[in-house]
Amino acid sequence: MKVILLERVEGRGALGDVVVVKDGYARNYLLPLHKALRANAGNMKVFEAQRAEIEARNQRAKDQAGKSGEKLDGTRYMLIRQAGESGQLYGSVSGRDVADIINAAGGKIERSMVVLDKPIKTLGLHDVKVRLHAEVAVSVVLNIARSEDEAERQARGENIIESQFEEDRLAAEEAAQDMLAGGAGSHEGDYVES
């Protein structure tokens, strides 16, 4: 289906471009969200007559998104999740989770604005892209940890999984040294000479 884009659509074109897209994409996404018009003679005339107004409206939306983005760009958010000893989450962090935590902190975004290439399934610090407008994207940092203490340690740059394994290794070495010093398996005074 041929459509006239009413705003920049990533991977498709800029405002005013006439592009060919799949019918379902046009009917289910572009047309209902007023991102495009069907490309026919009547709509071409309407678009050309309203082009200046459409461009001005798009510029206002971009400017507003830019102002919101300045406040949001680089902010850090902490999520407490359950995870195994290796740092794998029980479940994953989705776009909805990211939008909820940002909105709870006073931001105003929709979950469709969160761009996750793949779900987040591990503890640690993760950069997440938020697209506020077709031409405005910002990055936020998610600090995913099992507790607030772990989150603070991660924020300081400590890798909690490696340090946990290091603590376990040191404890095992200490236990081995205790066993060797005590004569592993022997008990004082338990045996009698004959």
Q: What is the 3-state secondary structure (H, E, C) of the chain?
A: CEEEECCCECCCECCCCEEECCHHHHHHHHCCCCCEEECCHHHHHHHHHHHHHHHHHHHHHHHHHHHHHHHHCCCEEEEECCECCCCEEEEEECHHHHHHHHHHCCCCCCHHHEECCCCEEECEEEEEEEEEECCEEEEEEEEEECCHHHHHHHHCCCCHHHHHHHHHHHHHHHHHHHHHHCCCCCCCCCCCCC
Average pLDDT over residues 73-85: 89
Considering the entire predicted model, what is its pTM? 0.70
Q: How confident is the prediction for the chain on average, in pLDDT?
A: 84
Domain ranges of the chain: 2-70, 76-165
- Per-residue pLDDT band for 28 (boundaries 50, 70, 90) equals very high
pLDDT at 24 over 90: yes
% of the chain with per-residue pLDDT over 70: 89
- Per-residue pLDDT band for 31 (boundaries 50, 70, 90) equals very high
pLDDT at 187 over 70: no
Average pLDDT over residues 130-150: 88
CATH architecture for the domain at 76-165:
Roll (3.10)
Topology (CATH) of 2-70 = Ribosomal Protein L9; domain 1 (3.40.5)
- Per-residue pLDDT band for 192 (boundaries 50, 70, 90) equals low
* Residue-level pLDDT at 16: 87
